[in-house]
Structure 1
Amino acid sequence: MSFEPIIGRYLTVTVEGAPRRIYVEEAGQGRPVICLHTAGADTRQWRHLMCDAEITKDHRLIAFDMPWHGKSLPPEGFETEEYLLTTDSYIETVLAVMNGMGLEKPILAGCSMGGRIALQMAALHADAFSGFVAIEASDFQAAWYDIDWFHRPDGHGGEMGAALVSTNISPYAPNEERWNTLWMFMQSGPGVFRGDLSFYTQDDSLIGRLGDIDTAKTPVHLIVGAYDFTCTPEDAKRTADAITGATLSVMDEVGHFPMSEHPKGFRPFFVDALKRMI
C-alpha cells in the first residue's frame, strides 16, 4: 500500500474582480506543464499521466479544477447567476493560476475546451508560455445537440452529459477507464456542462486569430483521436493547416478524452508532444 505522488492544494486568485478558490494538483519536477481538463469534468482526467514516473521525472505536471468544477467551488453568489464560461474569463483564470504559482513559461496542454483555450493563448499570450499542446482541439465546433438538455428539471444533467460523451469514447478504451471517465461527467454540478458547452459551441473568435499564432517563437502541436466525432481529425487538420508551422498527430485507437479514457494509448503521443516543445 502506498500513496500516489499527486499532491493537492488550494490556491486563491482573483478573476473578474472577485476571489476564486482553485483546487490544484501537481506531481513531478522539472519543466512545468499546465494540464487543462475538458468541459464538464475535472483534474482527475490527468491522474494517469501524473502518476507516470517516467514523465514526471523531468516534468512538473500541474492540473487544476476550473471554478464550478471538481473541488473548486463556485464564487460567492453563484446561486443568483447563470454559469456561462467565456473566452475572457477562461484566459484570465489560466493566467491567474499560472502567475499565482509563480510558473515561468510553462507548457500549456489542454483537451477539448482546454485545447481550444490553449490555441487562444497561443494567439494572445504566446510570450507567457514555452509551447502549446492542443488535444482534441479545433478552431470552432458548432453544436449538433441542444445544450439546454444538460440543465432541465425533468432530467439529471450529469447523466445526460455522460450519455452524450459516451458515444465519443473509443471502442478500444478499457472498460474501467470508460466508466471512470463517464463518472466524472455524472458528478458535474447543475448547469456546469451546459455553461462550458456554451463557450465551446458559440465562441468562434479563434478563427480570426489563427493567423496571429507564431510557431517560430512558440511551438504548437495538435493531437486528435480517430474516434472523436466532436472534433474530428478533419477538424483538427483544418485548424493545423491554418497555423503556419503547427504539427498534428492522429491517434488511431482513441476518442475525445484520451488521457482518461485510454491513457496507455495516449501516453506515447503526449510524450512526443512534450519533446516538440522548446
Structure 2
Amino acid sequence: MSIEPIIGRYLTVTVEGAPRRIYFEEAGQGRPVLCLHTAGADTRQWRHLMNDAGITAANRMIAFDLPWHGKSLPPEGFETEEYLLTTKAYMETVLAVIDGLGLERPVLAGCSMGGRIALQFAALHPDKFSGFIAIEASDFQPAWYDIDWFHRPDAHGGEMGAALVSANISPFAPNAERWNTLWMFMQSGPGVFRGDLSFYTKDDSLIARLGDIDTGKTPVHLIVGAYDLTCTPEDSKRTADAIKGATLAVMDELGHFPMSEHPDGFQPFFVDALARMPAREAK
C-alpha cells in the first residue's frame, strides 16, 4: 500500500465576470511549474511526472482542470449555453489560477491546446512567466476532421474522441498507459472535446504573434513526438523556426500525449526542458 504525494484542492476564481470553482493538484516544492492538460482531458495526464521524486525535489508541480473538465464543474447556467473555448477565456482562466495561488512567474508547461496557449502567453504576457515548455504545439492546425461528430445525439462523444486520439498515441506506448489515456477522453463531458477543438482548430491568431516572442527574456522550448499526426514534428519545427531563439526536441518514440501515454519515455525530455528554464524558487 502506498499514498501518493499529490494533493488535490479547490480554488474559486472569477473568469468572465463569474465564479469558477477549479480543481487543482500539486506536488513538490521549489520553482513553480504550472501544467496544462490537452483538449478533452484533465490533470490526470500529469500524474506520473507529479509522482516523480526527482522532478518534485526542486519543482512545485501544479496542474488544474479547466472548467467543464475533470473535477472542475461547468459554470452555473451551463445548460443554457454552448461550450466553445476561446483564447480570451483560456488565458483569463490561467491568469486567474496564477493569481489565486499566488504563483510568482511560474514555468508554464502545456500540451496540445495547452502548448498553443503557452505560446500565446509567450507573445502576450511573458512577464507573468519565467519560461515556456510547449509540448505537441504549433502555430495553427486546422481540423482535418468534422468536430461536430464529438457532440451528436447519435454518437457517443467520449468514445468518438477516444477513437480519434488513439491514432495519435505511439505504438511504443505501454498498453496500460495507452488505455488510461483513452479513458480520460471517454469520460469527457458532452460537447467538451468539441468545444476545446473549436479553439484549437479555428483560432489562428498566434501565427502573426510568433515574431513578438522574446526568448531572451523568457525561454521557449518545444517538444514534439514523431508519432503525432495532429501536430507533426514538421509543424513544431515550422513554429520554432518562427520564434527567434526557441529550441526544439523531437521524441522518436512518442505521440501526442507523451506525459500520459509513455511517461517513462517522456521523463528525460521533460527534465531536459526544465533544465532550460531559469532555476528559481518560489518565495
Taking structure 1 as the reference length, what is the TM-score of the superposition? 1.00
Deviation at 1:193, TM superposition (A): 0.1
Measure the CA separation in 2 of the matches of 1:155 and 1:105.
43
Aligned to 1:210: 210
Helix, strand or coil for the counterpart of 1:62?
strand
Aligned to 2:94: 94
Structural mapping, 1:16-165, within 5 Å: 16-165=16-165
- 1:191-210, CA deviations, whole angstroms, 9 ceiling, x for partnerless residues? 00000000000000000000
Helix, strand or coil for the counterpart of 2:66?
coil
Runs of 4+ deviating beyond 6 Å? none
Measure the CA separation in 2 of the matches of 1:59 and 1:179.
28
Question: Number of residue pairs matched?
Answer: 278
Helix, strand or coil for the counterpart of 2:12?
strand
Opposite residue 256 of structure 2, the aligned amino acid is: H
Helix, strand or coil for the counterpart of 2:159?
helix
Measure the CA separation in 2 of the matches of 1:237 and 1:164.
24
- 1:206-252, CA deviations, whole angstroms, 9 ceiling, x for partnerless residues? 00000000000000000000000100000000000000000000000
Measure the CA separation in 1 of the matches of 2:131 and 2:271.
14
Opposite residue 114 of structure 1, the aligned amino acid is: G
Measure the CA separation in 2 of the matches of 1:98 and 1:4.
24
Helix, strand or coil for the counterpart of 1:170?
coil
Helix, strand or coil for the counterpart of 2:21?
strand
Measure the CA separation in 2 of the matches of 1:78 and 1:12.
17
Measure the CA separation in 2 of the matches of 1:238 and 1:10.
38
Taking structure 2 as the reference length, what is the TM-score of the superposition? 0.98
Measure the CA separation in 2 of the matches of 1:181 and 1:88.
28
Measure the CA separation in 2 of the matches of 1:134 and 1:212.
16
Q: CA RMSD in A?
A: 0.3
Measure the CA separation in 2 of the matches of 1:125 and 1:262.
31
Deviation at 1:2, TM superposition (A): 1.7
1:6 matched to 2:15? The reply is: no
Opposite residue 223 of structure 1, the aligned amino acid is: I
Measure the CA separation in 2 of the matches of 1:276 and 1:73.
35
Deviation at 1:189, TM superposition (A): 0.1
Helix, strand or coil for the counterpart of 2:137?
coil
Measure the CA separation in 2 of the matches of 1:47 and 1:24.
12
Measure the CA separation in 1 of the matches of 2:58 and 2:252.
27
Opposite residue 56 of structure 2, the aligned amino acid is: T
- 1:123-179, CA deviations, whole angstroms, 9 ceiling, x for partnerless residues? 000011000000000000000000000000001100000000000000000000000
Aligned to 1:199: 199
Measure the CA separation in 1 of the matches of 2:250 and 2:23.
31
Opposite residue 144 of structure 2, the aligned amino acid is: W
Measure the CA separation in 2 of the matches of 1:272 and 1:54.
12
Helix, strand or coil for the counterpart of 1:236?
helix
Measure the CA separation in 1 of the matches of 2:52 and 2:133.
18
